[in-house]
Amino acid sequence: GAGVSQSPSNKVTEKGKDVELRCDPISGHTALYWYRQSLGQGLEFLIYFQGNSAPDKSGLPSDRFSAERTGGSVSTLTIQRTQQEDSAVYLCASSQGGVSGELFFGEGSRLTVL
């Protein structure tokens, strides 16, 4: 696609429910990253995919968080048993890979846990 697409753009859920957030990277981009943006915390790295594998999951905050990528394309971030502190904007970015640091970001999925 023309850019990184994320869905849903907004999600309101109740504490304890599971949520899935989807990311469609730019076609041909092999690297995919998830970040979390919350007030006072800036941008936190969550996980990195190269193709379908995730060699760096160091930023996932707890075992309630998981992510997968299929077909070297779409990625899903799943949060189980959501807590209020999970409320944030979840950003996905993709790149052609390598060390360039030039990432292309989606507009994010805003998650609100009541």
Partner 1 sequence: GNSVTQMEGPVTLSEEAFLTINCTYTATGYPSLFWYVQYPGEGLQLLLKATKADDKGSNKGFEATYRKETTSFHLEKGSVQVSDSAVYFCALVDTSYGKLTFGQGTILTVHP
Binding site for partner 1 (CB under 8 A): 3-4, 31, 33, 35, 42-43, 45, 48, 50, 55-56, 91, 93, 95, 97-108
- Residue closer to partner 1 by CB (options 64, 105) is 105
- Residue closer to partner 1 by CB (options 26, 79) is 26
What residues are paired with 110 via a beta bridge?
10, 89
Buried b (16+ CB within 10 A) or exposed e, 58-88: eebeeeebebebeebbebebebeebeeebbb
Give the nearest distance from C-beta 101 to partner 1 in angstroms. 4
